[in-house]
Amino acid sequence: MYVDPVHALTQQLRDRKASGEKLAVLTAYDYPTARLFDEAGIDLILVGDSLGMVVLGLPDTTGVTMNMMLHHAAAVRRGVKKAPVIVDLPANTYGNPDHALHNAERLVAAGADAVKLEGGVDMIDSVRAITKEGIAYVGHIGMLPQSVLKEGGYKKKGRTEDGASQLLEDAVALEEAGAAAIVLESIVPDVAARISSSIKIPTIGIGAGSACDAQVLVSHDLLGLFPWFVPPFAVQEANLAMEITRAARKFVERVKGE
């Protein structure tokens, strides 16, 4: 009997939330990192448009293109055998339902098991266009990096009752539109907890407190690979930047000493 793998993924994530299991999510942008994370047991791997900043040196995510995402998604796909791979739709690629579906299909063809786009109620038509065609979708509400220029910086969300109510409305609408999970970024922890307890799909927190059903980090923040900026909520488990610098200096010394 054929089982639609997209619907199976959505149900799998619902079941894991219902069981109370916390999920660990990391970003990956290349084959070796993705393979290592998969072999380490990471639950979900996100090819985030954060690659614009931590891989390509852009000032924010707004300059990331579809071609960039397709390139990195394909590399990650080659390294992953077990964990579902989520891939971001970059800025300006899902402004209307037809555009959103077309680009979501391109990411799936590159290897995505699910696609993610930013926004809540205002993006519902695009979300429905994606899920209606059987493509798994992950939401993203709260602080939206693709809107950083419009908003004038990165700001905590849910500080007011009106703001909290809008976030809850967004989450419920995304769940009803078929979302498999929702990223909650930089949301007041109490509000993130309210959202998490109000929906049946997992919430994936980043700077949103410990009550979320999952936690995601940019891998460079976890590994200490981007020392020029470290988010206040990130806990570094390694300092690979220091190790890379040490190895490079040792190489310089060895070559010049020959």
Instruction: Estimate the crossing angle of helix 66-79 against helix 31-40, to 10 degrees.
Output: 50
- C-alpha span between 31 and 225 (Å, rounded): 17
In a domain, 227, yes or no: no
The answer to whether 105 is a known catalytic residue is no
pLDDT, tens only, 79-94: 999 999 999 999 999 9
CB count within 10 Å of CB 30 equals 16
> What CATH number corresponds to the domain at position 212?
3.20.20.60
What range defines the domain where residue 13 resides? 5-217
Q: Using alpha carbons only, what angle is made at residue 50 by residues 115 and 234, rounded to the nearest 5 degrees?
A: 110
Instruction: Classify the phi-psi angles of 57: left when phi > 0, otherwise alpha if psi is within -120 to 50, otherwise beta.
Output: left
Work out the percent of the chain whose per-residue pLDDT is above 90: 92
Whether residue 118 is annotated as binding a ligand: the answer is: yes
- C-alpha span between 253 and 258 (Å, rounded): 9
Is pLDDT above 80 for 176? yes
CB count within 10 Å of CB 18 equals 11
Q: Identify whether the C-beta of residue 161 lies closer than 8 Å to the C-beta of residue 138.
A: no
In a domain, 240, yes or no: no
Closest CA to 225 of 237, 241, 238, 213: 241
In a domain, 255, yes or no: no
Q: How confident is the model at residue 5 (pLDDT cuts 50, 70, 90)?
A: low
Work out the percent of the chain whose per-residue pLDDT is above 70: 97
pLDDT at 3: 44
In a domain, 150, yes or no: yes
In a domain, 135, yes or no: yes
State the catalytic residue, choosing from 105, 133, 175, 185.
185
Residues whose CB falls within 8 Å of the CB of residue 55, separated by 6 or more in sequence, listed in order: 29, 72
Whether residue 88 is annotated as binding a ligand: the answer is: yes
In a domain, 223, yes or no: no
Residue 251 corresponds to which tokens in the numbers above? 């190489």
Residue 107 corresponds to which tokens in the numbers above? 């990411």
In a domain, 10, yes or no: yes
- 89: which DSSP letter? P
pTM of the entire predicted model: 0.95
β-strands 214-217, 23-27 pairing? parallel
pLDDT at 1: 37
Q: For the chain, how many structural domains are there in total?
A: 1
In a domain, 242, yes or no: no
